[in-house]
Chain A
Amino acid sequence: AQTVTQSQPEMSVQEAETVTLSCTYDTSESNYYLFWYKQPPSRQMILVIRQEAYKQQNATENRFSVNFQKAAKSFSLKISDSQLGDTAMYFCAFRDYGGSQGNLIFGKGTKLSVKP
């Protein structure tokens, strides 16, 4: 069974600085998807960024980028120029490639606080 591990329960960063959230996963599959979701205090689950395992290029979305290391099964999220609105719980999630086993498997989350 696939597992997702986020080893940092809580992190904090100063506004405008850069922070990296860690995520490792375990799978025997070669094709899969990885996601980072953000859950602010409103508890809405918001997609931040996604990565397809067969793509070597790391995904980027504005201030958010990932460092995907397939051999190491690592998928870290870098937030540049942190803003107060980035304060949230961040969940790393894994999904099998295609087929009916499409549910997301989440890590336990990292609570990020951006300080002014």
Chain B
Amino acid sequence: AAGVIQSPRHLIKEKRETATLKCYPIPRHDTVYWYQQGPGQDPQFLISFYEKMQSDKGSIPDRFSAQQFSDYHSELNMSSLELGDSALYFCASSSFGTGIQETQYFGPGTRLLVL
């Protein structure tokens, strides 16, 4: 079965640079979530999109922005990178509805290292 695809898988950036992370949800999934997981921590919700509209916002810094495109893929744009942004960034997708459809399936993550 098709899974969530994230690219790139690894990314190394310098402080103050920008980064763009991409997420391709499972086919027919209409909702995308972004999470940030620091070393030794649990995943923290950043932002979500449903049908190309932002649906909820968590602890996302103002330096970060995201959008969902017409083909449902999503991009997380990160500017003025700081050392503390080094983390594993997960994208998860689900299908809006109730019950089993609400389950979020995670991609493999993008490991971002800011030097």
Give A residues with C-beta under 8 Å from B. 33, 35, 37, 42-47, 50, 52, 91, 95, 97-98, 100-109
Residues on A with C-beta less than 8 A from B50 are 100
Contact (A104, B104) CB under 8 Å given A43-B88, A43-B109: yes
Please tell me if the beta carbons of B55 and A100 are within 8 angstroms of each other in the complex. yes
Q: Which residue of B lies closest to A45 (CB)?
A: B106
**How far is it, in angstroms, between the C-alpha of A105 and the C-alpha of B59 when the chains are bound?**
12
- Whether B56 pairs with A104 at a CB distance below 8 angstroms is no
Q: For B57, give the chain A residue with the smallest CB separation.
A: A103
Chain B residues engaging chain A, CB cutoff 8 angstroms: 31, 33, 35, 37, 41-45, 48, 50, 55-56, 58, 88, 90, 92, 94, 97-100, 102-106, 108-109, 111
B55 to chain A, nearest CB (A): 4
A102 pairs with B88, CB closer than 8 A? no
Identify which of B33, B37, B105 contacts A102 (C-beta below 8 A). Answer: B33
Contacts of A52 in B (CB 8 A): 99
Name the A residues within 8 Å of B109 (CB-CB): 43-45
Whether A103 lies near B103 (C-beta < 8 A) is: no
Q: Which residues of A contact B92 (CB under 8 A)?
A: 45, 104
Q: How far is the CA of A52 from the CA of B98 in the complex (A)?
A: 10
- Out of A43, A50, A98, name the residue touching B103 (CB < 8 Å): A50
User: Whose C-beta in chain B lies nearest to the C-beta of A98?
Assistant: B98
**Which of chain A's residues have a CB closer than 8 A to the CB of B31?**
102
Instruction: Out of A33, A44, A101, A103, name the residue touching B106 (CB < 8 Å).
Output: A44
- Among B31, B48, B92, B102, chain A packs the most CB atoms within 10 A around the CB of B102
State A106–B35 Cα separation when bound (angstroms).
Answer: 11
Shortest CB-to-CB span from A88 to chain B, Å, is: 14
How far is B56's CA from A102's CA once the two chains are assembled, in angstroms? 8
In the complex, which residues of chain B have a beta carbon less than 8 angstroms from the beta carbon of A109? 42
Known A-B contacts A44-B108, A100-B56, A109-B42; the reply to A33 vs B102 at CB < 8 A is yes
A45-B43, A107-B42, A108-B42 as given contacts; A102 in contact with B103, CB under 8 Å: no
Which of A33, A103, A105, A108 is most buried by chain B, counting CB atoms within 10 A of its CB?
A103
